[in-house]
Structures are given as structure tokens and as C-alpha cells.
Amino acid sequence: MERTIRSYPGVGIAGHLIQHSALCVPSIYVSRPCLIYVSQGYNILRTREGELRIEQGEMLALNGGQTLDVYNGLDEKGLYASKAIACDPALLADFSREHTPLLSPVASAAIIPDPANQFAHSFDCFFDALMTSPALPAPIARHRMQEQILWLAQHGVRLHTTPPATLSQQVRELLLTDIAHPWPAAVVAERLEMNEVMLRRRLAAEAEVLRNIIADTRMTHALHLLQNTDAAIAAIAQSVGYESGSRFAERFRKRFGFLPTAIRGHHRQAACPDCSLGSN
């Protein structure tokens, strides 16, 4: 079955990540809280709290609204694979209101080193149901997403999403609503209810430039598509607004330090010097 990313509005997004090269990706913005099950290989993450290593068979609960460095290490067969379900922040907020939270939210991320068999089975069944056709009815999908949140609570984990704290984060969230749109400054400013001068001034105060945010958001989205789908690289380039495959590849390498083909196994790299994870 061809891999694709499945989205359920109001519930979440599911993807099956497969990578054939050990690569480090610096400064990835995570917009939604995620639950990730590592089935092959291992992860090393650097968050603002420090480094975490997630082994094969372990789960990672990751908060939304943060930037981190990620290293995906290969197993003895030369493969990294994981299943991820990103939860809609509104569903998570609704759940917290309906169920008095007994747990404090985790700071950035939490490892579940030995998930209960029932939890792993529940996650696998839900993931498979999200990825197959016909689509789950929305109320059922919502209910089963809440089941994952309850299982996390059983393991002492409560996720949350930090609202965009900076204007640059607000811009990223806006761009994700239509990643291939040209997004001229006038349109971005209008959507964020300010004028262009104010937009540029406030971004400059954060040491950011609109065109760089647009390029970075597109490249990050392209990375997710390369990792979680079997779509052709040319099609992915077009989906993020690049008609020229060579220009897309050049921009991608400038951002991540490796070509798009590296994800699919055409190049092997042990670590990225930009973030130094996985170099030991």
C-alpha cells in the first residue's frame, strides 16, 4: 500500500515515517502534540530541557509549539521507521476541560519506555484504522484519539500545546493552512490583522524575515512528505510551491545539509554537524 499522510479534521494527522539514511535535522518546529512509536532504529531529540534517546519499541509523547533537533538512527538492517499520530490541539484542550487534569503537563517531551501491551495494541489498531479506507466516522476517530490520551495519563503523561508565543510562530501556523500559496507580505499582514510595516518591524525584532520563514516552513513540510509518503520528489517540490526540481533540491540542501534523495536512501550520512546529535 502506498504511504500517505492521513488527516482527520478536528482529530489529528497520522503518518508512517521511513528513512534509509541516518540523518540529523536541526531546528524543526512541531506545531501539534504527537505520539510516536519507534518500530525500527532509534531517535535522539534535543529539546530546550536536554537530550532524549528513544529506543526501538518505545513511545515518545511530544508537546506541540516547540522547536527541536532530531536524529533518526538506523537499526542493523539500515532502516529507521516510526508511526506517528499528531493530535488536534483543540481536541486536547476539550479533553482537558471535560476531564479534570490530575497530572501536570510534561515540559517538552516524555519517553514511555515500556508501554503496556494494551496501549501498544490500541495505538497500532487506531493508527491502522486511520491509514486505511474507508475513513473512520469522525465521532469514532475522535473517541479513539481520546483513548490514546487516556492511555498516556495511565503512564503519567499529559500533553499540551503552547500557543504561538512569537509573531514568527503565528506566521508559520498561517502558512501551514496553504503551504504552496505565494504568501505576499500584504496578505500575511492582512491575515494577522496588521499592516506590512508592522509585520516586518515585529519580525525584525525577533531576528526573522518573512521570506526566510516561508522558505523554512515549506522545506519542513517537504521533509515530512519525503519521510511519510511515497510521493515522487518532483511532486513534493510542486506541492510546496517549487516548479523547478533543481531549485527545490538546492533550497532543501541549504536548509538541512543533505539532498531530498538522502531520505529515500540514495546517500548515507551518520550525523549533521549543525546539531551534532548521533555523532557519538
Could you tell me the residue ranges of all domains in the chain? Answer: 4-155, 167-264
pTM of the model: 0.88
pLDDT of 119 reads 95
Whether the pLDDT of residue 270 is over 60: the answer is: no
Say whether pLDDT at 239 is over 80: yes
Q: What is the pLDDT of residue 267?
A: 45
Instruction: Give the pLDDT confidence score for residue 240 in this predicted structure.
Output: 94
Query: What band does 271 get if pLDDT is binned at 50, 70 and 90?
Result: very low
Q: pLDDT confidence of 273, banded at 50, 70, 90?
A: very low
Look up residue 82 and give its three cell numbers: 516510526
Low-confidence winner among 28-42, 150-164, 232-246 (lowest mean pLDDT): 150-164
| Start-to-end CA span in the chain (Å) | 36
Mean pLDDT score, 105-131: 92
Q: How far apart are the C-alpha atoms of 106 and 216, rounded to whole Å? A: 27
Whether the upstream peptide bond of residue 134 has omega within 30° of 0, thus cis, is yes
Is residue 1 over pLDDT 70?
no
pLDDT at 279: 55
Q: What would the mean pLDDT of 5-18 be, rounded to a whole number?
A: 96
Mean per-residue pLDDT, 243-264: 94
pLDDT for position 102: 62
* Residue 67, pLDDT score: 92
Contact of 196 with 210, CB cutoff 8 Å: no
pLDDT higher at 126 or 99: 126
Mean pLDDT of 36-40: 97
Fold classification of 4-155 (topology level)? Jelly Rolls (2.60.120)
Q: At what angle do helices 117-131 and 138-154 cross, to 10 degrees?
A: 150
Amino acid 100: pLDDT: 60
Would you say residue 161 has pLDDT above 90? no
Is residue 214 predicted with pLDDT exceeding 80? yes
Least confident of 118-132, 155-169, 208-222, 248-262: 155-169
- Which CA distances in Å does 149 have to 5, 76, 103, 158, 230? 21, 32, 12, 8, 29
Q: Is the pLDDT of residue 276 over 60?
A: no
Q: Per the structure block, which three cell numbers stand in for 56?
A: 526501538
The CATH homologous superfamily to which domain 167-264 belongs is Homeodomain-like (1.10.10.60)
Q: What pLDDT is attached to residue 274?
A: 45
| Residue 39 φ then ψ, to 5° | -100, -25
pLDDT at 99 over 50: yes
Per the prediction, the chain carries an average pLDDT of 91
pLDDT in tens, 176-195: 999 989 999 999 999 999 99
User: Residue 277: pLDDT above 90?
Assistant: no
- Residue 57 clears pLDDT 50, i.e. is over it: yes
Question: Residue 220: which pLDDT band, with cuts at 50, 70 and 90?
Answer: very high
Domains 4-155 and 167-264 share a fold: no
pLDDT band at 269 (very low <50, low <70, confident <90, very high): very low
